[in-house]
Structure 1
């Protein structure tokens, strides 16, 4: 956009046709060249309210999907996304697939989740074939990888957790599937540092293509095999602000169904220059905002604990399970997938050595802070995502 502030002003004025925005901007003077930073930030609740009002707007330039980014069936977090999904613009800048590819789509359909439909459509635009498989359970990996290999699969779309499971299976069993795949499209969660490391060992030709965004904003940025996995090139129609390191997004695409204006996506980031040399604005995503929980009388970051656990040699994956409610944990379980030589005591000592306050607060209490072993971490069967943090009901 040549003048993103002017485009944002035009968008803000047009948004007031919806009662939600008319009320949100009631105290503002939207005439002239007003200061766009005076526009209040949007939350997920704001996006849902705007989406619900946009649903009744007719006629609309194009048809749309109703997707959700979470919540319950009574109070879902909703977004209307055009069925074209802005992919015409995205594929001008990001082309992981070509007409000779066969894509195995591991994103499951239904339940208002968007990824399955997005990657089918991406393949269609590229002229590629699609195997719309959905989520594969661990015990089914062997037979499905045989099936995908027989049908000439050259690309896989899945979360980093799903791609990691495939590569680990191939490394463990000697299955050749990963070495025949040229593109791994990932989305939905941060890319585990172990993924490119394992790829380099098992299948160096397995190029990683990621995209960054949310259901509410749709795709914000993208990267490719020559980029760090935490670095994303911003799309021209996404206006991104960094406010004290927090990411705010305004979608300026003319096909957007409901306005998204200064939406606080919940991530922290910083501008960087990507090593691939591609010009344009680029962000390094530094993690989530407000990730602290109260445990043992101190504030801890479950995401940080997961990263620290994986720094211990022999630990392949980790996940935090908290027992409690309202952001206050009564017990913490650290689940690890690790080599047999790694002991629970070594994991515990490694974690507490990195957390001075937590180590002092626990003072050796093994019941409140436990290490457990798992063959695999808990994943969401709908989305394939493996969260760093799970909450369990208080006993």
Structure 2
């Protein structure tokens, strides 16, 4: 790991953050060519895929040539694990070179492993450090990590990064809520990282303890693990409750990291010297221009243990390739992850994303911010299979208007043009998440 802080300047950790667009793309092509050549010999999965489609490493002469390859999906990953257990066909190094393994949450399938070599760990830590530094973390800060350390990928990565910056690190984890609040005030924590759900939960815990987090020293809220990190109403609620700025920290198990907010809060900045990013129309699979929604597809440029080519993240984003207001040149994702492609709901022909529903609920007067979206057969048109409306369970504060549910349903109809049946429940009725919240329930 990095032994000591090594920022490039007072505002930039790594000079790569200021590369010209031409230099970024030249680096991406050079690294992709080397990566493809290595995978043709070292990755059982990609070697077979190249043979099946008649692709040779020498066929990659431009970044556009990468589109000759099909995307790699989660199902490919899972099948590779079945074919070559326990690490899978996508492992491209000798297993003896693997020094770290993290796992998926296993909420939709068996927990899947992702492997790192020593080089991968150092790269990961340095990229995280770059982003925390860009958000304003410095050696004088006290950084409390509220990500889980049990199996989850984010906790150790954030801890290593804050250590590399030189901050004082408290590896708190995502339990012992009262102790977390006590530690924030006792040790003068100035920056925390965690899921939006857990940070919202700590606000409630602090209030029950008679503490006001707005009076704490915390000035930075680094948010990850959920799409709520870039939802305006969610961010506004957290910033108001904590009296601190929020920053979206975006990554996945398979690609650590993808992009994080900088101090400018202009959208997660892609790590374009680490990944090559494409934004594709999910129907045509063709690239969409900047400013249009599409699914993010990423390719690793220098990852060793389990590099992925054209990994289908399933995350819907918008790209802006113009230089950022703070001078950084890597492309950004304004609004962060707008939704998951597989979470989109079609209500009477209208595309509705759960993130849009969350934004309406959390900006509505009287809502605690906790809710559930229920999708079941009672809402489906038997002829088309599409939903005819939304079914929501929403918590209301004790002083909420008497017609809270009706007002919220009307606002959803006005803003999202769909009908919603709102069941109103008392504050505290719904379970709180200390890790990743699951608010879309399908039955």
Normalised by the size of structure 2, how large is the TM-score?
A: 0.72
The answer (yes or no) to whether the contact 1:178–1:202 under 8 Å persists in 2 is no
Q: Residues of 1 paired with 2:246 and 2:346: CA distance?
A: 36
CA distance in 1, matches of 2:233, 2:345: 26
Note the alpha carbon deviations across 1:222-268, whole angstroms, 9 max, x for none: 2123213x443434211111122221101112x43112111111122
CA distance 1:223–1:345, shift in 2 (3 Å): same
Partner of 2:8: none
Match of 2:438 in 1: 387
Larger displacement relative to structure 2 (8-17 or 320-329): 320-329
Partners of 1:92 and 1:312 lie apart in 2 by: 36
User: Retained in 1: the 8 A contact 2:127–2:257?
Assistant: no
Q: Given the alignment, which residue of 50, 62, 79 partners 2:114?
A: 79
Shift of 1:195: 4.8
1:375 aligns with 2:375: no
Question: Number of matched residues?
Answer: 374
Which of 6, 11, 30 in structure 1 is aligned with 2:35? Answer: 11
Write the distance in 2 (CA, Å) between the matches of 1:109 and 1:171: 26
| Structure-2 residue corresponding to 1:246 | 295
For 2:46, the equivalent position in structure 1 comes to 21
- In the TM superposition, residue 217 of structure 1 has moved relative to its aligned partner by 1.0
Does the C-alpha gap of structure 1 residues 340 and 388 become closer, same or farther in structure 2, counting only changes over 3 Å?
A: same
CA distance in 1 between counterparts of 2:103 and 2:38 reads 23
Q: Shift of the alpha carbon at 1:174?
A: 5.2
1:151/1:386 CA distance change after superposition, 3 Å? same
Task: Give the equivalent residue in structure 2 for 1:257.
Answer: 305
Q: CA deviation at 1:355?
A: 5.3
CA distance in 1, matches of 2:74, 2:45: 13
* Structure 1: 5+ residue stretches without partners: none
Are the structure 2 counterparts of residues 79 and 38 from structure 1 closer, same or farther at C-alpha, using a change threshold of 3 Å?
A: same
Structure 2 residue runs of 5 or longer lacking an equivalent are 1-23, 82-86, 282-293
2:211 aligned with 1:186: no
Q: Which has the higher strand share?
A: 1
Secondary structure of 2:189's aligned partner: coil
Residue in 2 that maps onto 1:333: 392
Q: Aligned partners of 2:157 and 2:74: how far apart in 1?
A: 21
Question: How many Å separate the matches in 1 of 2:272 and 2:430?
Answer: 33
Alpha carbons of 1:323 and 1:81: their partners in 2 closer, same or farther (altered >3 Å)? same
Corresponding position: 1:103 with 2:162: no
Q: What corresponds to 1:283 in structure 2?
A: 333
Decide whether the 8 Å contact of 1:337 with 1:376 is kept in 2: no
Matches within 5 A, 1:149-228: 149-167=185-203, 173=210, 175=212, 179-190=216-227, 191=229, 192-198=231-237, 201=240, 204=243, 206-228=244-266
Q: How does 1:259-274 map to 2 (within 5 A)?
A: 259-272=307-320, 273=322, 274=324
Whether the 8 Å contact between 2:98 and 2:115 is mirrored in structure 1 is no
Are residues 207 and 24 of structure 1, via their aligned partners in 2, closer, same or farther at CA, if it must alter by over 3 Å?
same
Taking a change above 3 Å as real, the CA distance of residues 108 and 178 of structure 1, as seen in their structure-2 partners, is farther
Secondary structure, counterpart of 1:345 in structure 2? helix
Once residues 218 and 52 of structure 1 are traced to their aligned partners in structure 2, the CA distance between those partners, rounded to angstroms, is 19
- How far is the alpha carbon of 1:349 from its aligned partner? 2.8
* Residues 258-290 of structure 1, C-alpha deviations (whole Å, 9 max, x = no match): 121111111222222444443232222333223
More helix, by proportion? 2
Change (3 A) 1:133 1:304: same
Give the corresponding residue for 2:58: 32
Q: 1:108 to 1:99 in 2, by over 3 A?
A: same
Per-residue Cα deviation, 1:99-127 (whole angstroms, up to 9, x for no partner) = 333222211221x2112211221232223
